[in-house]
Amino acid sequence: MKTEDLKNNKDYKYGFTTDVENIRSPKGLSEETIKFISNIKNEPKWMLEWRLKAFNRLKVLKEPDWQKPKYPKIDYQNLYYYSAPKSSSEKPKSLDEIDPKILETYKKLGIPLVEQQRLNGIAVDAVFDSVSVATTFKDELTKKGIIFCSISEAIQKHPDLVKKYLGSVIPLSDHYFATLNSAVFTDGSFVYIPPNTKCPMELSTYFRINASETGQFERTLIIADKGSYVSYLEGCTAPMRDENQLHAANVELVALDDAEIKYSTVQNWYPGDENGVGGIYNFVTKRGACRGNNSKISWTQVETGSAITWKYPSCILQGDNSVGEFYSIAITNNHQKADTGTKMIHLGKNTKSKIISKGISAGKADNMYRGLVEIKNKASNSRNYTQCDSLLMGNKCGAHTIPYIKNNNSTSTIEHEATTTKINEEQLYYCNQRGLDQEEAVSLIVNGFCKEVLQQLPMEFAVEAQKLVAISLEGSVG
């Protein structure tokens, strides 16, 4: 897309591309591509073998077709699986060395990498296209023994940890897109919090899909050792694209005894234009294992972008007394489709899980909650509470709820509630009467509807998320 076109199109605030020369892998999915990726990353042999194992598995797997959002067939041979900013062949040692154009991109996005970081107390592992470009605040974290680096770096420097945990939550042969990711993942973040350590700041990463025709395959692995705590933020905005782009990331969380992981996402990728042309396919596998006793994993997500969102951040509650939480807001407008929810699998005793899901659909969008709560027969005294509410704006959109509930234990309790309604006209009228125009009123009411989830977000995200909610629904009522 030409730059002039982009300038003319102001609907999408973050629609811009940066001109950075790319190094690309050979086109298409093949053993050569995988070897190329592994080679360029200077990976040890075991990693290449792992990738090839996944690739062999991929050959027999079929793309899933049960989900409601249908998409045109993806030509996997027509994608580039690796593209990195050229300047990364000599990794910058400080912020000054970073390509100024990249820094500019972040500025436009509103992540001031340079100064405001310190004020906000966030260490950013910024992912630009596929290679981690800059990592700040490393020293402060290193002092505490916290490892926060790109996954490629971790493979080099901490092979034991990676070997032990990579693929332990999302196995190689899990499903099509997860396996694809295992074979061709290019980069991502790696976090290890040592025992009895509380991470002093919110760790954060920014994903951007930049080079056209590049499916981005991120791999994130977070390990919270005994008695530790970490809060991780993931934020996404992507430049405007004309053709559909595939994003198949894998995120694995492991919480050991008494550890807690809080994972928050704001996703605002290009959703396609009003007619449903373009937009990102967001097929992400996120899964956390509460492996230790008294561990806790909490997912919070605000999903406003992408043409098709299809993800189910899940918790496997293995340890006794472990806790899983899922808070979600999914907003779809125009032709967007979201099929999202969670899985809570209770294996340990006295495990608890809580699901709060808010779906809002407007325009011609389809919004679906799909979730599984399963209590196995050894998980005595377990408890789940699920609430999923849907809000419909206009009569051309759809809101669907498909919960799967399986209870196999007599001392455990599962409660599930769901409602579907439209915006209360009396509330709208009340707001209008007090001088708020229609859009302000809708934004206010919707923000109220989502309050329970927004409250869970860390401060930095909460403000942005509230704005996003309002922006996403612009023009949907009237």
Of positions 188, 239, 313, 403, contacts another protein by CB under 8 A = 403
CB of 388 to another protein, least distance (A): 9
408 binds another protein (CB under 8 A): yes
413 binds another protein (CB under 8 A): yes
CB of 393 to another protein, least distance (A): 7
Of positions 422, 424, 430, 455, contacts another protein by CB under 8 A = 422
Decide whether 311 or 383 has the Cβ nearer to another protein: 383
114 binds another protein (CB under 8 A): no
432 binds another protein (CB under 8 A): no
406 binds another protein (CB under 8 A): yes
* Other Cβ atoms within 10 Å of 142 Cβ, number: 12
424 binds another protein (CB under 8 A): no
Number of alpha carbons in the 13 Å side-chain half-sphere of residue 157: 11
Per CB under 8 A, which of residues 272..331 are in contact with another protein? none
Of positions 221, 392, 446, 469, contacts another protein by CB under 8 A = 392
- Of 183, 216, 248, the C-alpha closest to 29 is 183
Of positions 9, 411, 438, 455, contacts another protein by CB under 8 A = 411
- Of 66, 67, 63, the C-alpha closest to 340 is 67
What's the token pair of residue 125?
């592992």
Structural contact between residues 150 and 125, judged by C-beta atoms closer than 8 angstroms: yes
Q: Which residues of 364-391 are buried (b: 16+ CB within 10 A; e: fewer)?
A: bbbbbbbbbbbbbeebbebbbebebbbb
Radius of gyration over alpha carbons of the chain, in Å? 22
What's the token pair of residue 122?
């966030």
404 binds another protein (CB under 8 A): yes
Decide whether 291 or 376 has the Cβ nearer to another protein: 376
How many whole angstroms separate alpha carbon 163 and alpha carbon 249? Answer: 19
Per CB under 8 A, which of residues 358..377 are in contact with another protein? 377
Interface with another protein: number of residues (CB under 8 A): 35
77 binds another protein (CB under 8 A): no
Decide whether 293 or 409 has the Cβ nearer to another protein: 409
Burial class (CB in 10 A: 0-12, 13-18, 19+), 276: middle
Q: In angstroms, how far is CA 118 from the centroid of its own chain?
A: 24
Structural contact between residues 422 and 449, judged by C-beta atoms closer than 8 angstroms: no
Of positions 30, 416, 447, 462, contacts another protein by CB under 8 A = 416
Structural contact between residues 181 and 284, judged by C-beta atoms closer than 8 angstroms: no
94 binds another protein (CB under 8 A): no
CB of 12 to another protein, least distance (A): 26
56 binds another protein (CB under 8 A): no
Bridge pairing between strands 122-128 and 131-135 = antiparallel
Of positions 56, 135, 407, 447, contacts another protein by CB under 8 A = 407
Q: Which residues of the chain form contacts with another protein (CB under 8 A)?
A: 66, 377, 380, 390, 392-422
